[in-house]
Amino acid sequence: MIIEIILLISFLLATTFIISYLRFYVSNLGISSYKYNITEDMENAAIGAFVFFIITSSFALILFGLGILHWDIFPMTISSIGGISLGIFLHPILLYRSIRSSIDKEKDKIIDKKVLQVAVKYGGVVTISHLVLEADLSIEEAYRALKRFVDAGEAYLKQSGNLRFWDFPSARAHLTKIDYEIIESLIEVGGRIKKIELINKLISKHSWSIEVIEQGINRLEVNGILKYDRLTDELRLLGISIKD
């Protein structure tokens, strides 16, 4: 009895994985070409499993009646046939899970690209609000995407007061050193700083001229990465604060 149960389970698992693999990978069953829902597919699989079991069991009985198939292996044969039949019936569950996983991965890939595009646009700094507004994501989608970047070491969660934002250093790697350092200096103070304070800080740190720093500020303002309020002399990163 134990051998028959082992055979049934073994053939069940093997059949489930093999058929699912053949349908999804070898036959190149794409997401869009999967024409069945799980219920309809299982109905078709049930018919196929029933037909297979009747035909193979009948053939086994004929062999047994002719004396070709002996009694000592007959129960094992029926168990094997039953396992294969169950595998045929249940394989749509594994197939459907594989397709759903493929759909989710493709969706994540598209979302990740949108998140990175917004991050590059704002010099590597974004908030949930920016992703909801500009990438057309839900709050949950934005959080999950940002978590993937954090887990991969491509982004870092930072906080300024009650404001949380995500820093993508690689998203501003294409910028000049001056522009990069201006953004870094703004991030260190939560995204807002007086222009004169920033200039003094960069002069002290890098010995750059005021003219060079002014050019970097103007360049970042033109590119929509920061905004300069001439009334208050305040610079702020637009990736942290919503644009006026």
- In the chain the domains, ranked by start, together with CATH numbers, are 2-106 (no CATH), 122-244 (1.10.10.10)
DSSP E strands: which ranges in the chain? Answer: 125-126, 156-160, 163-167, 192-194, 226-229, 234-237
For residue 144, pLDDT beyond 50:
yes
Q: Is the pLDDT of residue 72 over 50?
A: yes
Cα separation, 146 vs 160, whole angstroms: 18
Q: In 3D, which of 159, 130, 160 has the Cα closest to residue 145?
A: 130
Averaged pLDDT, 8-29: 79
Residue 225 has pLDDT above 90, yes or no: yes
The answer to which of 51-60, 99-108, 158-167 has the lowest mean pLDDT is 99-108
Q: Give the pLDDT band of residue 244 (cuts 50, 70, 90).
A: very low
Provide the pLDDT for residue 162: 84
| pTM value surpassing 0.75 | no
- Per residue in 111-131, pLDDT (tens digit) is 999 999 999 999 999 999 999
